[in-house]
Amino acid sequence: MNNRIATSGLTIREDRPAPNRSEPARPPSSRTAAGTPRLAYITGFEGTQIFGHGTDVLDTTEHSVRYPQDLRLLVADGITTFRCCIPWHKIERVRGVYDWAWTDRYMGTIRRLGLNPIVDPVHHTSFPQWMEHGFANPDFPTVYRDFIRAFARRYPWVTDYTIINEPLATAVLSGFMGEWYPHWRDRAGVVPIILGKARAISLITPMLEAMVPGLRIVHVDTCERHHALDEPSREHADFANHLRFVVLDLIRGRVDERHALWDTLTEHGLTADDAAGFRERPARIDVLGLDYYAHSEMGWTVAGQSDAFLPWGFRRVALEYADRCPDLPLMLTETNVRGRIEDRITWLKYMVGECEALVPELESRGGRFEGFCWYPYIDSTDWASLCREPNRMIDPQGIYYLSDRFNRMESELSHLYARLARGEIGAAELPAYRMEEPVLVDRRVGKYLPYMEGWDWREGEPSIPQRPGPGGPD
């Protein structure tokens, strides 16, 4: 391969740009002759608002202007369904005033190409900047409901909705860690944000049921597990393992005085009437989407976070969610790793294998697996700053990578993902490349190596340093 990459000061290079094409591909089959599951493959385009800067990742990756090419690439690769960020924060810059100009063009292209969007109007903190305190604003549920109503009326052909993306993860980053607006840093901060999101989901879901024929609610959140590596860390790990389910428990009406987090929730804003309302009107979910990364399983010691443990892996952690929600089909709605093309291919091989192994286990329980999503389809930008600064720093994690001029570039990864989407190959046919230290250590993938024993390893091209600044030749 002729490529280059690294993370935190390194980038990627491949040999040719993605073609401008639109021919459809056949859908995948469900099983090979040998009985190996063939998964349905989807993807998506990152669109998080860079809060306080008037822009988002749709802009900084140039998807907002290059979407005709990006969407045609989906069709050519045999991908018909994708996670679709809708920039509410741009559409309703003035409260109650909707500017649909860009969205009309975007949704029109999606419809003409025959694509099925899973619309996602609040990707992390992508609410209007006039929404003081964001999700914790008492007006948030009704204001957001009004926007969703207007969207559903304008685009009645859209059937698949993620009402709020990763409600738990965003609440933790905004209300407990202080990384995102409103920058709160304790349980008194995280609980009101969780409650605001749960109220909005519970308010909006029945409205969509009444408005949208063929509605499918794809509820997406992080797929986590916390491991106590010493006895003093057990209380923290137990709390985190209860917290990972709290949004699901609230909106499905499963929180009462017996819930493990009842005292925490009621101390910081949940009333008995609130809890009764959730129980009386549980929200519908059609698919439970799980986002799993190498950092999704965390080990804890008195000294802090540690990777000195063997993770359970996606299959086993997903089964915990299946046990919690046995009536819901599962979907892997996000995974990726930041690294070279070769590093990403290796993580793809691992995750496809985990999902293929999950399928028969779910089927034996009467469940099903809905699909696999590598997210994002093109490299993202500005996650090095957690989307706090619009520096247009490319994050090497997409199926197609971005050149210095933000052209969409093919690679072995994009070719393999298209073959997966067409049902031509599975995990066994994906190559395995030895991963570089930044991926093994900084991206926390090293703890998964025991699951990769016996693979036929290849050597990839080593990283080389990035040239300073954008604008060089592709």
The answer, yes or no, to whether residue 24 has pLDDT greater than 50, is no
Give tens-digit pLDDT for 62-111: 999 999 999 999 999 999 999 999 999 999 999 999 999 999 999 999 99
235: pLDDT confidence band, cut at 50, 70 and 90?
A: very high
3-state secondary structure 93-121: CECCECCCHHHHHHHHHHHHCCCEEEEEC
30: pLDDT confidence band, cut at 50, 70 and 90?
A: low
Q: What is the mean pLDDT of residues 107-117?
A: 98
pLDDT at 463: 81
pLDDT at 470: 44
Q: Average model confidence (pLDDT) for the chain?
A: 92
410: pLDDT confidence band, cut at 50, 70 and 90?
A: very high
CATH code, residues 41-458: 3.20.20.80
Q: How many CA atoms lie within 13 A of 266 on its CB side?
A: 14
31: pLDDT confidence band, cut at 50, 70 and 90?
A: low
The answer, yes or no, to whether residue 203 has pLDDT greater than 80, is yes
Q: What is the mean pLDDT of residues 238-261?
A: 97
Residues above pLDDT 70, as percent of the chain: 91
Q: What is the mean pLDDT of residues 297-311?
A: 97
Give tens-digit pLDDT for 365-393: 999 999 999 999 999 999 889 989 999 99
Structure token pair of residue 388 = 């706090």
Give tens-digit pLDDT for 153-195: 999 999 999 999 999 999 999 999 999 999 999 999 999 999 9
Structure token pair of residue 89 = 């924060």
* Domain definitions of the chain by residue range: 41-458
The answer, yes or no, to whether residue 7 has pLDDT greater than 80, is no
